Structure 1
Amino acid sequence: MVLKVDVAPDLVHGDVDEGYGAVADAFRRNFAERGEIGAACVVHRNGRKVVDLWGGYRDGVARKPWESDTVVTMFSTSKGVAAATMAVAHARGLLDHDRAVADYWPEFAQAGKEDVTVRQLLSHQAGLAVIDRPLSVTDLADRAVMADALAAQAPGWAPGTQHGYHGISLGWYEGELLRRIDPQQRTLGQFFAEEISGPLQLDFFFGLPVDLDPDRRAVIHGWKPAELVLHLRQMPPAFVLGFLNPRSLTGRAFKNPAVLGVIDNYNRADVLAPEIPAANGTGEVRAVSRLYGELATGGAALGLDPVTLGALTRPAAPPSGGTKDLVLRVETHYSLGYIKPFPQFRFGSSADRAFGTMGTGGSFGFADPDTGIGFAYAMNRSGFRLWDDPRELALRNALYVNVLGERPQLPD
């Protein structure tokens, strides 16, 4: 069972600007009422940090406090950071969303993928949620092995006709595509470090640096896969059944190599060392908020232009066969590496121009251009929701309803 820890009020820290006290109140209640162990929440508005909160324990077993500079693995919230990296490449003219991936990466054309566009790949429509070739953790750090496995993969459905969450594979496909279009042939993690996190001074990493102080890193307190059957009111039953079935599309999408299918394994050094841009991004929560804050206010510091920003903010273009996700087995909307608001997952203001990604266990980061908001929350106790974890939702509701006077962040 998931660890339960009492957190004293004096272990909750941070600052909020005047008028944002409701967010701080919700953050404190997460520890008192919602079982939070360790977490941080940061909000940027119109380019300025207005909420910066952290607290609890970065290690609930050893009772090591969560500090201001604690870094945490954010699972699929990492996808939003990787998508921002691809957006920078787009703004620099390195890729066209509507060209074939094979135009940039000829080997990708194998197995019926010759017409898959960059847009389809980034929007989970390419049918490449599963990698059939068995992979080891060691393989993940071998670029040649990974590139060959990715290129050889056959789509699981006709690209563009359906979509399904590329839960692990998306980041590897993004990484290899970026390496092909970057004049310096850098990995996604290297490109991000040199072109984004360095200039913006963001503590966020794809592939944990060997010299990072291990005492800065939060320990993930996750659930075992079998526990999902006890939480069918929180997790969609169809997704749970698929995840627990190793032969299903859902089960296969998250478990190659098998260690990636268990949350607590993301505490392992060998899982954090290679670049897994869709899943193992690790950093300060304020780094994700700052990045989304830049995206929400024009992206000047990132070198973005109106064309790229327009592509990120416009509504998702669904596949021809509808919006039922073949992997998550629920309705979803995706666009260019991000999830977009839809009736079952309302985030941001009423215009629905927001974009972001949520992570396993409850983390979430997004940009809302209509309010100038960059929001990020991450924690180390894993919850049982695909999105709208009660802790994160309480913070987002406090921000949007109590502070901004916008709509409740609840499903229609």
Structure 2
Amino acid sequence: MKKLLLIGAILVTGAISFADAKSDYENAIKLSQEKKIPEAIKVLEGLAKGTDATYTPKANLELGGYYFQNKEIAKSKTYLQAAWGNGKTTTPETVEAARLLYLVGILEKNKKDAEKYILWSDEKSGGTNADIASSLIIFYFDNNEQTKGTARYNKVLQSSDKDFVAEVDYNIGQYYLTKNNNVQAKSYLEKAYTGATSRVNGAGLLLSNIAIAENNPAQAEKYLLEMDTAAKSKNAQILGMLGTYYLRQKNNAKAEEYLTKILAVEPKNVSAKILLLGIYDTQNNTAKLNSIYNQLKSATPKITNKQIGIYFANIGEGPLSEKYLKKSISEDKDNESKVILGQVYAGQGKKAEAVKILQEAVNNKVNGASEILKEVEAMK
């Protein structure tokens, strides 16, 4: 499920009220942006004790959100309740405070409070906020109140706003994914995917990932190709997933086609260039290999042999990782690469090679090398 809200340095802004309160609030924001958090908190606490109709709720909300992020739940709850003000008014501040108080209720396992705040939020938003509606539905599903959850979901289905309905389905689908219930997850995600006005959406990406996990590559390809067509081959994320998909299928020609398309959209895309490097390397295509390699080495910021080696290690391309880590050691004189190469060797079952290179790293006094060497030596 998508996070209910993202708390940043500035949660809400509004109309000008009293000049002094406005100045104090803006000063607090400036201090926060300058990472002077204690000073910002002090200013906000002063505002929170005031009576300004606009900036006192804002200050309470900022403080409540800050302490919520820092897991000081009791303190967070006090400020948030002050910002909510018993729900007597419906403003951006009270709505946001109620949504956070709902999360506080969840953390405190206070079902009654959690339901009160999310119901209030749903009512005050007119039932048209997808995050709130889906949170309420999921709250009921998670508390074994299927009847209430289904009733609220059926109201969502009555909306003529296709994207609103699709977003609720997407959120519920993600909820079932966290429960490892792929059957239910796919049911909601499929409705989100087909119901949205644009075929390019997160539900399609999740469905393709589920299909791959379930060893159904044809279905994964179907979703990705449909989305790529809808995006007119302009979406780098989808192109990247297609390129990676075809690499896994050992179809280098198709992989190269889609990875090259990424560079037409994002010429500086490092991941696409490294994957193309791998393709050209395995094909012994020296001209294209050197071209891509030189682009990476001359990039701003420069991409090092170590970074290339780590990238290949992370995607399970041991031989390619080994090649570029060796280049890092010999050409760049980067002794830290010895530690990474030792782990690559260990992952390939080459214990003797791993021990040898890690011992070199220890002799070079590379941080952490001795601990990793001990772990590898203990391998059977």
Larger radius of gyration: 2
Same fold (TM over 0.5): no
Higher share in strand: 1
More helix by share: 2
Taking structure 1 as the reference length, the TM-score comes to 0.18
